[in-house]
Amino acid sequence: MKLFVYHTPELTPTDSVPDCAIAVDVLRATSTIATVLHAGAEAVQVFSDMDQLMQLSADWPAEKRLRAGERGGAKVEGCDLGNSPLDCTPERVKDCRLFISTTNGTRALQRIEAAPSVLAAALINRQAVVNYLLETNPETVWIVSSGWEGSYSLEDTVCAGAIADGLLARSSLSAKELAGNDEAIAALALYRHWKDDLLGLLHHASHGQRLLRLNCHEDLKYCSQTDILEIVPRQKQPGVLVK
């Protein structure tokens, strides 16, 4: 297995796809996707364009439909939800389809949707993703960080490092053997430095600071936890993820 880490969707190769591609948006799209599927949602359908989300979701039964929209960390007007995983309770989402569009995370998922296997990962479901990779043993794996509007993000990189660390802990591979690029080594080093204070790292992250200004303190606490959900969101068809 070779693991490649890309800091933004735009940095991924355009002439190839991996055996398995993993989108990461710790703050907060992939954390929300994992949470909503764990809470009993039927599926999550992702969109980069809000108008397209509104148009396609209109064909879905209203009682089985939830629209989630976020731009700049804030809820989009006219949506049922923003991008907070804490809003995704079983009472609210069970048996519904969540139609979601976010500033960064949905772009990452759409960039990798052509891969044979597409997953969504966050810190909260890190070990479940690691277990899936060890069971399926894909030859090439891309971890694609969502970043923030095309720029590097600490929180997504530390999650990539957490996945790498989990793989190394359960396999005979060395870091040198696992890493497909320098970014994978850097992500691993970042995680190992901050693994005992991930909430502190999220407070340092520029997007974490944006969310703090929006009074999303509890979201940061939730998203900084590791291995609390045993769920792997997987792409069923382009743009649609199920557990």
- pLDDT top residue among 102 and 109: 109
Per-residue pLDDT reduced to its tens digit, 147-194 = 988 899 999 999 999 999 999 999 999 999 999 999 999 999 999 999
Do residues 211 and 219 make contact, with C-beta atoms less than 8 angstroms apart? yes
Q: Which residues pair with 81 in a beta bridge?
A: 68
Q: What percent of the chain has pLDDT over 70?
A: 100
pLDDT in tens, 23-60: 999 999 999 999 999 999 999 999 988 999 999 999 99
Per-residue burial over 86-113, b if 16 or more Cβ lie within 10 Å, else e, is ebbeeebbeebbbbbbbbbbbbbbbbbb
Is 2-235 a CATH 3.30.70.1290 domain?
no
Query: From CA 179, how far away is CA 182, in angstroms rounded?
Result: 7
DSSP secondary structure letters along 151-218 = B--HHHHHHHHHHHHHHHHTSS--HHHHBSSHHHHHHHHHHHHHTT-HHHHHHHSHHHHHHHHTT-HH
User: What pLDDT was estimated at residue 188?
Assistant: 98
**Residue 5 in contact with residue 181, Cβ under 8 Å?**
yes
Task: Break the chain into its structural domains and give their ranges.
Answer: 2-235
Q: Considering the entire predicted model, what is its pTM? A: 0.95
Query: In this structure, which amino acid lies at residue 71?
Result: R
